[in-house]
Amino acid sequence: MKKVERINTIMRYINNRSHFTISEIMQEFTISRSTAIRDIREIEAMGMPLVAEVGRDGGYFVMHNSVLPDVRFTDNEVKALFIAFMATRNQQLPYLKSRQSLAEKLLGLISENQQDDLVLLNQILLFEGTNPNNPDLLDLSDLPHHMLEKLIQLLLVDRNLVITSKEESYHIYLLHLYREKSLWLIEGFDTKEEKKQIFHVDNLTNVQPSPTNKRWSKKKILEKLRKQEGETNLSLELGPKAIAQFKKYHPLKVSISYTNPYQATAILKTFINVKNPEELTEITNWLLFLGEDIKIKEMPIEVNEGLQKRLGLFCP
């Protein structure tokens, strides 16, 4: 158990008892005596009114008519929350209208000194999409597509959906909702085509739960996807430079899996339809765009020939 989680649990444990000892804390949470004493002192410093009893059988009790203290944030926790909050400006996020009330509540929880630090951070730090001439934390000019919040509300209850886009409807099982290249996208399993599809949220005109006779079970969908994923014919290992290029541009159907915690290496696996000239040309140009920081594990002959042909154009 992490320290923060343990201390919060100990606080609830203490507040539900009229009396406790260090030995009881040690036994209950499987910690050493020194750790138990250190945790109790930290809880006292947070404002919990504990009274120590002197004597052989002494312990602690919570002062009568006292309750758990309000939530407290360390200086670093406040800065982490605030910076994350700042970085979301102008990102077309859902529930953006709640930004003002969130900011007001956060500021109401912290001390004046902490508030002064946040004001200074707001003046100094600029993120992508920030207007340096008006870095207003409560700027609400970047409201997302009106369907986004409705979509989120529905998928929290039911991921079998009928989405309508440009007068055409699709019965899907929603796999992921994500934002990429400043666009909100749905990755869904199309139950008619029986494959993954990518849909732009900005193109949606309606979203509703799917009728019973059009639904697929999650188990059936995952089994179908596992079979399809086995049909990959392009496999690459990407280094940091190639990953940076990938983030700048990549086809929407292509994704990567990071292979270390620092996101410095990744694996890319996908299927290339070599019978489609447009897709073949696109993937060839894109692989050249990724640069030299890739290792090829598997590649269709047609893609390799396309690369050799393109590279030959640059040779004297």
Residue 106 contacts residue 115 (beta carbons within 8 Å): no
Is 246 within the bounds of a domain? yes
User: Would residue 32 be called left, alpha or beta, if left means φ above 0 and alpha means ψ between -120 and 50 degrees?
Assistant: beta
Q: Containing domain of residue 9, as a range?
A: 3-62
pLDDT for 296: 92
Is 70 within the bounds of a domain? no
C-beta neighbour count of 266 within 10 angstroms: 20
C-beta neighbour count of 264 within 10 angstroms: 12
Residues 54, 94: one domain? no
Is 169 within the bounds of a domain? yes
Residue ranges of the chain whose pLDDT lies below 70? 1, 54-58, 64-72, 90, 96-97, 100, 128-143, 229-230, 252, 313-316
**Of 229, 254, 287, which residue is a domain's last?**
229
Q: Which residues contact 144 (CB under 8 A, 6 or more apart)?
A: 92, 93, 94, 96, 184
- CATH number for position 45: 1.10.10.10
Buried b (16+ CB within 10 A) or exposed e, 221-259: beebeeeeeeeebbebebbeebbebbeeebeeebbbeee
**Of 185, 205, 229, which residue is a domain's last?**
229
Q: What is the three-class DSSP state of 62? A: strand
- Residue 160, Cα to own-chain centre: how many angstroms? 22
Residue 270 contacts residue 290 (beta carbons within 8 Å): no
C-beta neighbour count of 278 within 10 angstroms: 8
Instruction: Give the Cα separation of 299 and 236 in Å (integer).
Output: 8
Is 68 within the bounds of a domain? no
Judging by beta carbons within 10 Å of its beta carbon (0-12, 13-18, 19+), is residue 36 exposed, middle or buried?
buried
pLDDT for 41: 87
Is 211 within the bounds of a domain? yes
pLDDT for 206: 93
**Of 173, 194, 229, which residue is a domain's last?**
229
Residues 244, 307: one domain? yes
On the CB side of 128, how many CA atoms lie within 13 Å of its CA?
Answer: 4
Residues 266, 240: one domain? yes
Residues 92, 51: one domain? no
Question: Tokens at residue 293, please?
Answer: 């920081």
Residues 214, 256: one domain? no
pLDDT for 255: 80
H/E stretch holding 226 reads helix 218-229
Is 136 within the bounds of a domain? no
Residue 72 contacts residue 114 (beta carbons within 8 Å): no
- CATH number for position 223: 2.30.30
Instruction: Give the Cα separation of 39 and 237 in Å (integer).
Output: 46
Residues 162, 175: one domain? yes
pLDDT for 267: 93
pLDDT for 190: 92
pLDDT for 237: 94
Residues 153, 221: one domain? yes
Is 192 within the bounds of a domain? yes
Residues 244, 306: one domain? yes
**Among 152, 259, 252, 251, CA closest to 204:** 152
Residues 247, 210: one domain? no
Q: Which residues contact 65 (CB under 8 A, 6 or more apart)?
A: none
Give 230-281 as a DSSP string.
TT--EEEEE-HHHHHHHHH---TT--EEE-STTS--EEEEE---TT-HHHHH
Is 308 within the bounds of a domain? yes
Give CA angle at 269 (265, 273), nearest 5°.
145
Per the structure, how many domains does the chain have? Answer: 4
Residues 54, 113: one domain? no
Instruction: Give the Cα separation of 279 and 208 in Å (integer).
Output: 33
Residues 211, 258: one domain? no
Residues 290, 305: one domain? yes
